[in-house]
């Protein structure tokens, strides 16, 4: 039976993007798309955690995260074809309306938060910890977009970079929201000598 996914075209460490161009799998384009794929998979896992949490706002948060998963596909088509050689493969480009919706959701969550005036040293529950990890994946993706822009200067990445930067902020705030008012701030007194 023929595989639905295995083509063997990448067995030599190279692949073809939607533009039709061939790249080494170590090229910044493939690194960027790989980091986006990790972001998508981890977001999906975190969404399931939210939906299974029994929280009063689980459905609302789950629906927003489901929207995010779809936005990632818009971003992916742009990153996979940074010179826009095959625009017919783009459903739409990421833009201001997507950034505005992300900022609006963050603003709603942040308006309800009272954070300590110190760095958070650790999430206070498992679900918040998962979103802290997701936040670091979003930051890694943002760095990958910067490297791709440097490798392909005509890549119109401005909206993607703004979105990625806002995304990590949103995920951090969402992690704190999921702590339900119990935040673990850094306590440098723990580093002092017991005798000092």
**What's 119's domain CATH number?**
1.20.1200.10
User: Is 131 contained in some domain?
Assistant: yes
Q: Is 81 helix (H, G, I), strand (E, B) or coil?
A: coil
Residue 35 lies in a domain: yes
Q: Is residue 47 part of a domain?
A: yes
- CA-angle at 115, arms to 97 and 192, nearest 5°: 135
Determine the Cα–Cα distance for residues 37 and 76; give it in Å rounded to an integer.
8
| pLDDT tens readout for residues 27-53 | 899 999 999 999 999 999 999 999 999
Within-domain flag for 165: yes
**pLDDT of 7 above 70:** no
40 is a domain residue: yes
Mean per-residue pLDDT of the chain: 91
What global pTM score does this model have? 0.89
97 assigned to some structural domain: yes
Query: Residue 6 domain-assigned?
Result: no
pLDDT in tens, 164-180: 999 999 999 999 999 99
Helix (H) or strand (E) holding 182: none
d(C-alpha 34, C-alpha 166), whole Å: 20
Domain of 51, in residue numbers: 25-83+92-186
The three-point CA angle 151-152-154 to 5° equals: 150
Return d(Cα 110, Cα 130) in angstroms, integer.
Answer: 19
Number of independent structural domains in the chain: 1
Q: How does pLDDT run across 95-127, given as a tens digit for each residue?
A: 999 999 999 999 999 999 998 888 988 889 999
Mean pLDDT, range 136-140, rounded to an integer:
98
């Amino acid at each position: 039976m023929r595989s639905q996914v295995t083509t063997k075209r990448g067995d030599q460490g190279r692949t073809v993007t939607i533009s039709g161009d061939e790249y080494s799998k170590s090229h910044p384009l493939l690194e960027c798309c790989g980091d986006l794929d990790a972001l998508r998979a981890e977001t999906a896992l975190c969404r399931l955690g939210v939906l299974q949490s029994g929280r009063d706002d689980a459905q609302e948060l789950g629906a927003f995260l489901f929207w995010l998963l779809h936005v990632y596909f818009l971003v992916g088509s742009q990153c996979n074809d940074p010179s826009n050689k095959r625009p017919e493969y783009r459903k739409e480009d990421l833009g201001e309306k997507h950034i505005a919706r992300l900022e609006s959701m963050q603003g709603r969550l942040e308006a309800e938060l009272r954070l300590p005036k110190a760095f958070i040293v650790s999430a206070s529950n498992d679900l918040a910890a998962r979103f802290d990890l997701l936040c670091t994946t979003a930051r890694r993706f943002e760095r990958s977009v910067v490297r791709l822009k440097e490798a392909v200067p005509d890549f119109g990445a401005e909206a993607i970079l703004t979105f990625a930067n806002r995304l990590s902020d949103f995920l951090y705030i969402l992690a704190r929201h999921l702590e339900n008012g119990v935040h673990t701030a850094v306590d440098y007194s723990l580093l002092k000598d017991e005798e000092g």
